[in-house]
Amino acid sequence: MSKTFSIGGIHPHDNKISINAAIENFPVMERAYISMSQHLGAPAEPVVAKGDKVKTGQLIAKANGFISANVHSSVSGTVNSIEMLPDLSGNLVQHIVINVEGDEWEESIDRSSEINRKIVHSPKEIIDKIAECGIVGLGGAAFPTHIKLSPPPGKKADYLLVNGAECEPYLTSDYRIMLENTEEILIGVKLMMLALGVKKSYIGIEENKPKAIKRMKEIASKGYPEIKIVSLKKRYPQGGEKQLIDAIVGRQVPSMGLPIDVGVVVQNVGTALAVYEAVQKNKPLFEGVVTVTGKCMPEQRNFRMRVGTTFESMIFAVGGFPKDAEKLVSGGPMMGKAVSRIEAASVKSTSALLLLTLEETKRGEEANCIRCAKCVDACPMGLEPYLLNRLSRANRVEDLEANMVHDCIECGSCLYVCPSDIPLLDTIRLSKAKVLKIIRSRPKK
């Protein structure tokens, strides 16, 4: 029996058209644009200067403050400049621009494809290694992994949940690594379990990926008995952190709470692979698998790609910009970000580049709410989007808080289902930010 979360959810067509494309290495570009803000928290601080020679995997920027992460060069060459450049949404962010010369890796990195099963590090060493290698959560928020693996005093984790749901339509990068790097992921999970001191871990995979479930189970049964593979119903947003915990261990994270409040830490399969590479192979996080897809594209492929690759070069690698493509999305179609400039570059957590035609992405004209309650039925947090929208438009902040607008996980299910095409999430997102600000400014009890 597949498990699932208890409230709401929708069933968008999964469109996993790149599912059978094996991972290929993306050619190293001529110039890499490496952002200092690839993670949640403070930007990293550059430790190289213009003109410096760098190697692939060399530390080029240091974590700055408690919530931050190291950044490593994804290429070898000369630092061309350190400057403010627009990121994919057009916000100015400090970047280190490197002119590529060859591809010379740091000698400390183990580049062999042999699987290193032998765990020699202590929990503390594992966490330090993860921090050193700049690992961040690859499931979306890019929260520095070493912090998530160090629960605050007084809180203890019972379970490590690993997200292999990949519930967003189109995305297949997690699927491909689950097939191609199965054992590495399991070792990564084991390392994180050791770091956390938990005895049990579950990897949740949606049932529309039977091959991944089968392969994971097969390998797990051969030496990783503490890791259970759980089949999940295909239902969006199955991979949402709170939904995943609810589905797998039946605990509900309270409003404004964190997974650790119910004794759970959630990581993503991509992060597990990165942890394996960091700890067992000494390899910092400077590349990852990116799905380049879209129905309008001549080909849909999965690439292992260096951080700092421009969206433009990705598009050209699969045959150029299709005439009818009108929207470029970084990430999945439900929660990904629309890219405003194709010159922007990928970051550690970039999972996909999706091109959509106007026909596919068009929102209908907004009409009156017919009170069909479809948004209410769809909301995985049990909110009433139609009401939150109305309250947002009237700017009734107190009522918004009473109706828990701050619990919204911005999954987009409400807007997806609304037959009247009311921009529910657009208004909810704004009022959520407002209410969160108010809540956080209150003195703590």
Partner 1 sequence: MKKLIVSPAPHLHGKESTKSLMRDVIIALAPSLLVSVYYFGFSAVKLALVGVATAVAVEYVIQKYIVKSKITVNDYSAALTGLLLSLNLPPNSPWWIMFIGSVVAIGIAKMTFGGVGQNLFNPALVGRVFLLVSFPVIMTDYSIPTSWFREGIDAGSGATALSIVKEGLARGLTMDQIFDANNFSYSQMLFSKIGGSVGEVSALALILGFIYLLIRRVIRPHIPVAIIGTVLVFSGVFWLINPESYADPLFNVLTGGILIGSIFMATDYVTSPMSKKGMVLYGIGIGVITMLIRYWGAYPEGISFAILIMNATVPLINMYMKPAKFGKEVKHG
The answer to whether residues 328 and 353 touch, using CB atoms and an 8 Å cutoff, is yes
Determine, following the binding rule CB under 6 A, whether residue 381 of this chain makes contact with ligand SF4: yes
CA 381 to chain centre: 20
Find which of partner 1, ligand SF4, none residue 248 binds, CB within 5 to 8 Å per kind. Answer: none
Kindly state the smallest distance separating residue 356's Cβ from partner 1, in Å. Answer: 6
CA 355 to chain centre: 18
Class of residue 402 by CB neighbours under 10 A (exposed 0-12, middle 13-18, buried 19+): exposed
- Using the rule CB under 6 A, give the single segment among 21-29, 148-156, 190-198, 381-389 that binds ligand SF4: 381-389
- Using the rule CB under 6 A, give the single segment among 37-45, 101-109, 225-233, 372-380 that binds ligand SF4: 372-380
For the chain, first and last CA: distance in Å?
43
Identity of the residue numbered 294: G
Task: Build a one-symbol-per-residue string for 114-153: x at contacts with partner 1 by CB under 8 A, - elsewhere.
Answer: ----------------------------------------
Determine, following the binding rule CB under 6 A, whether residue 239 of this chain makes contact with ligand SF4: no
The answer to whether residues 361 and 320 touch, using CB atoms and an 8 Å cutoff, is no
Please, which of residues 203-242 interact with partner 1 by CB under 8 A? 242
Kindly state the smallest distance separating residue 131's Cβ from partner 1, in Å. Answer: 30
Burial call 349-365: b when 16+ CB within 10 Å, e when fewer: bbbbbbbbbeebeeeee
Find which of ligand SF4, partner 1, none residue 254 binds, CB within 5 to 8 Å per kind. Answer: partner 1
Determine, following the binding rule CB under 6 A, whether residue 265 of this chain makes contact with ligand SF4: no
In the structure encoding, which two tokens stand for residue 135, read together? 């690992």
Determine, following the binding rule CB under 6 A, whether residue 21 of this chain makes contact with ligand SF4: no
Residue 363 CA to residue 382 CA, distance in Å, equals: 24
Please, which of residues 350-409 interact with partner 1 by CB under 8 A? 354, 356, 358, 360-364, 367-374, 376-377, 379-384, 386-387, 404, 407
CA 322 to chain centre: 26
Contact positions toward ligand SF4, by CB under 6 A? 369-375, 378-381, 383, 385-386, 408-414, 417-420, 422, 424-425, 428
